[in-house]
Amino acid sequence: MESRTYPQRLANALTTRRWEYLAVICGILCSLFFLIALAISGNIPPTAPWWDAKRVHDHYWALVKGTEASSIFLMVSGALYVVYSAVLARQIHKIPEIHPIIADLQLASAAASFCGFMIPAIAMGLLTFRDYGPELTQLLNDIFWMATLLSWPIFLVQMWTVAWAIFSHKSPNPVLPRCMGVVNLATPIVFALGSGVHIHHTGPMAWNGGLVFWPSLVFFGLQINIDIWYMWKNLQATCHLP
For residue 103, the enclosing domain spans 6-238
Query: Which whole number is the average pLDDT over 214-228?
Result: 93
Which of 185, 163, 161 lies closest to 176 in space, CA to CA? 163
How far separated are the first and last CA of the chain, in Å rounded? 21
pLDDT band at 238 (very low <50, low <70, confident <90, very high): low
Instruction: Examine the pLDDT at 10 and tell me if it is beyond 60.
Output: no
pTM over 0.85: yes
Mean pLDDT of all residues in the chain?
A: 90
Q: How far apart are CA 195 and CA 205, in angstroms?
A: 8
> Is 191:156 a contact under the CB 8 Å cutoff?
yes
What tens digit of pLDDT does each residue of 170-180 get?
Answer: 888 888 889 99
1 in any annotated domain: no
Report the sign of the C-alpha dihedral through residues 151, 41, 123, 32, in that order. negative
136 in any annotated domain: yes
pLDDT band at 11 (very low <50, low <70, confident <90, very high): low
> Is 102:74 a contact under the CB 8 Å cutoff?
no
Instruction: Examine the pLDDT at 55 and tell me if it is beyond 90.
Output: yes
Which of 154, 57, 143 lies closest to 113 in space, CA to CA? 154
What tens digit of pLDDT does each residue of 81-127 get?
Answer: 999 999 999 999 888 888 889 999 999 999 999 999 999 999 999 99
Report the sign of the C-alpha dihedral through residues 114, 120, 125, 126, in that order. positive
155 in any annotated domain: yes
The amino acid at 91: Q
Which of 66, 84, 96, 81 lies closest to 23 in space, CA to CA? 84
Query: Which whole number is the average pLDDT over 215-233?
Result: 92
Instruction: Examine the pLDDT at 34 and tell me if it is beyond 90.
Output: yes
152 in any annotated domain: yes
The total number of structural domains that make up the chain: 1
What would the 3-class secondary structure string for 86-100 be? Answer: HHHHHHHHCCCCCCH
210 in any annotated domain: yes
Q: DSSP 3-state assignment of 202? A: coil
Q: DSSP 3-state assignment of 45? A: coil
Q: How far apart are CA 101 and CA 47, in angstroms?
A: 41
* pLDDT number for residue 173: 83
* pLDDT number for residue 169: 83
What would the 3-class secondary structure string for 136-151 be? Answer: HHHHHHHHHHHHHHCC
45 in any annotated domain: yes
Percent of all residues in the chain with a pLDDT value above 90, rounded to a whole number: 77
Which of 172, 161, 149 lies closest to 227 in space, CA to CA? 161
